[in-house]
Amino acid sequence: MAHHAACDHDHHNHGVAGSALEAELAAAEARCAAADQRLTAPRRRVLELLLTAGQPVKAYDLIASFAIDGPPAKPPTVYRALDFLEKQGFAHRIESLNAYVACRREADGHAAAFLICDCCGATREIEPKASAEIIAAGAAAGYALTGVTIEAHGLCADCRG
């Protein structure tokens, strides 16, 4: 993700690497197997890219980074993988950024809230307490909500400092 021109401090990658990455991918494989789903090679590769990025990534950046050696993936391959990862709870789409981020929470169907730094792009997923109120308000209005995603923009501690 591109940083704002005025953002001149060091940016740290909050992604996963090494044995922690392998553990995340193994856990994803196990969750898929338990749900009678398959974490195919393209799905696994897209999840790996999201996990190592540690911040929101646009689909076309995933397409360009997909191949380790050789040409990039075809867009439908990556978009189908992203759709699967979202449905299985491994990724979230951040609408305001038109980007995707790995979800490392175990809970199925949890509400997602993101704190997004408008300077450096750092993104943090938190558990929103307001989601229960939103779901209750939806039910009171006759809606059966299937998901709640909250996006909050501002400056992270590093950019404020």
The confidence score (pLDDT) of residue 68 equals 78
Ordered DSSP codes for 5-29: TT--S--------HHHHHHHHHHHH
Ordered DSSP codes for 97-131: GTEEEE-----TT--EEEEEETTT--EEEE--TTH
Maximum Cα–Cα distance across the chain:
53
pTM: 0.83
Please list the rounded mean pLDDT of every run of 10 residues in the chain (161 residues). Answer: 55 78 94 95 94 92 85 90 94 93 71 88 84 87 86 91 78
Q: Give the phi and the psi of residue 78 in degrees, each rounded to 5.
A: -70, -40
The confidence score (pLDDT) of residue 29 equals 95
Contact between residue 85 and residue 96 where contact means Cβ atoms under 8 Å apart = no
